[in-house]
Chains A and B, each alone.
Chain A
């Protein structure tokens, strides 16, 4: 199980929790499991083609998956996955 941290702007989609424990060997699997549990996150995270939206960064153990293998980036148990959209407030 890896820990997926949900940014506060998306927490209303997951019942207000800060993080979830999810199964999956890759980012694709983990994100898929997340959307299966919380379908309203689907359009927030993925494009119609099933790619990651450009405006949500996904980090595995502090590294941006765009510079790893994107959705195919492997995820090991105990890895920390973090979803992070840009913030506007100043």
Chain B
């Protein structure tokens, strides 16, 4: 039997519990999943703080992605409180047991003088370019905007930095800094895919910038054409959100580690040898740092670089992309990083092995004693801790002042 709109609305009101804007406002943070079911054009004019957006026409397809627990409380709202009632009926049909609709909708919310947020609005071009990201609930417009506002620093535009730089640029990481003082050599091109044959002899930072901007013109590339040393590391890394360590000397790795720990910047670390690679993510003070893992570097014959030992070109490609993956996760605040885990990759066996890492309580850089020394602006007495510490910067570098 046909039903009128008024009858449908009456049935919905009888079935669905309604809550006032004030009741929603009084909920503790995370007390319910709040879903805005209006159209995108309405959402862009402002929305409840912490709300998720699923327009009513997509509610059946997308609700499970943002509210997987059918017994957890869900509150829907629209502009005036009608569309959300009907959408709530749909959720009830899908088995959601605790669904409510906010009466009066966003209009009543604003009318009551309650605070609201303006969403990030991407341009039409950005919506197209990053559409595959926007479709992922864990990224979406907010995550994409976060990436666009993020700054990643690559130490080295070589085997590891090449794939990482291209994928970070493609992903829309807005600022990419590159530290490299070298020029492109024809022997680099077997693996360093950010460079090209016609750029042999060109500065690597310039070559990388061309490739990055050819892929994504809106990325700002900052060229640091200098060798990373103790005297400049603090200045170079300042302001970056993540650092990808793709260097090929231990001295640089230790200098970078010490400065990044002091500055509190996560480092995605990778290194390669022939068919093998090692990878981890150092999150300062949450997990170990490079010195906790390797207190002292091996003698040169035990750790030759690629120019001496050789490397299968795809190995730094794989490891560099894993670094980029870790960087994107940290920037987006999603997933579990490799902090506290060392991932070993063996291309010949096609095998990944995971080892557990720990913070060294005597670490000359990230231990409590080291942090206290930095805060006090006093050079850490390396003799006072039972660790050999090559390349340790013992000045007042990184002090709280």
- B356 near A62 with CB under 8 A, answer yes
The minimal Cβ–Cβ distance linking A10 to chain B, given in whole angstroms, is 8
Those of A35-90 within 8 Å (CB) of chain B: 44, 53-57, 59, 62-64, 66-67, 82, 84-90
- B303 near A86 with CB under 8 A, answer yes
Instruction: Name the contact of B158 in the complex, choosing from A85, A86, A90 (C-beta under 8 A).
Output: A90
- A57 near B293 with CB under 8 A, answer yes
The minimal Cβ–Cβ distance linking B161 to chain A, given in whole angstroms, is 8
Q: Mark B261-279, 1 if CB is under 8 A from A, else 0.
A: 0000000001111111110
List of B residues within 8 angstroms of A88 by Cβ: 248-250, 271, 273, 297, 303-305
The minimal Cβ–Cβ distance linking A22 to chain B, given in whole angstroms, is 19
* CB within 8 Å for A55 and B271 given contacts A88-B305, A89-B305, A89-B306: no
* CB within 8 Å for A90 and B272 given contacts A55-B298, A56-B298: yes
Instruction: Name the contact of B354 in the complex, choosing from A53, A56, A62, A86 (C-beta under 8 A).
Output: A62
List of B residues within 8 angstroms of A59 by Cβ: 355-356
The minimal Cβ–Cβ distance linking B247 to chain A, given in whole angstroms, is 5
List of B residues within 8 angstroms of A56 by Cβ: 298, 302
Does chain A have a CB within 8 A of B132? no
- B273 near A87 with CB under 8 A, answer yes
Bound CA–CA A59/B273 (angstroms): 19
- B159 near A90 with CB under 8 A, answer yes
- Residue of A whose beta carbon sits closest to that of B271: A87
* CB within 8 Å for A63 and B356 given contacts A87-B272, A89-B248: yes
Bound CA–CA A12/B158 (angstroms): 28
- A86 near B272 with CB under 8 A, answer no
Instruction: Name the contact of A82 in the complex, choosing from B159, B293, B299, B355 (C-beta under 8 A).
Output: B355
Instruction: Name the contact of B276 in the complex, choosing from A8, A66, A67 (C-beta under 8 A).
Output: A8
Work out how many contacts link A and B, with CB atoms closer than 8 A.
Answer: 101
Instruction: Name the contact of B356 in the complex, choosing from A54, A64, A84, A87 (C-beta under 8 A).
Output: A64
- A86 near B306 with CB under 8 A, answer no
The minimal Cβ–Cβ distance linking B179 to chain A, given in whole angstroms, is 12
Of residues A9, A62, A88, which shows the largest number of chain B Cβ atoms within 10 Å of its Cβ?
A88
- Residue of A whose beta carbon sits closest to that of B269: A90
List of B residues within 8 angstroms of A90 by Cβ: 155-156, 158-161, 245-248, 270-272, 305-306, 316
Q: Mark A8-44, 1 if CB is under 8 A from B, else 0.
A: 1110000000100000000000000000000000001
List of A residues within 8 angstroms of B316 by Cβ: 89-90
- A55 near B270 with CB under 8 A, answer no
List of A residues within 8 angstroms of B311 by Cβ: 89
- Residue of A whose beta carbon sits closest to that of B357: A64
Of residues A62, A67, A86, which shows the largest number of chain B Cβ atoms within 10 Å of its Cβ?
A86
Bound CA–CA A44/B245 (angstroms): 26
Bound CA–CA A33/B304 (angstroms): 27
Bound CA–CA A53/B303 (angstroms): 14
- A85 near B298 with CB under 8 A, answer yes
Between A and B, 24 residue pairs with Cβ closer than 8 Å are: A8-B273, A9-B273, A55-B298, A55-B302, A56-B298, A57-B294, A62-B354, A64-B356, A84-B344, A85-B298, A86-B278, A86-B297, A87-B272, A88-B248, A88-B271, A88-B297, A88-B303, A89-B271, A89-B316, A90-B159, A90-B161, A90-B246, A90-B272, A90-B316
Other A-B contacts than A85-B303, A88-B303, A90-B159, 15 sampled, CB-CB below 8 A, are A9-B302, A56-B298, A59-B356, A64-B357, A66-B360, A84-B355, A85-B302, A88-B250, A88-B271, A89-B305, A89-B309, A89-B311, A89-B316, A90-B245, A90-B270
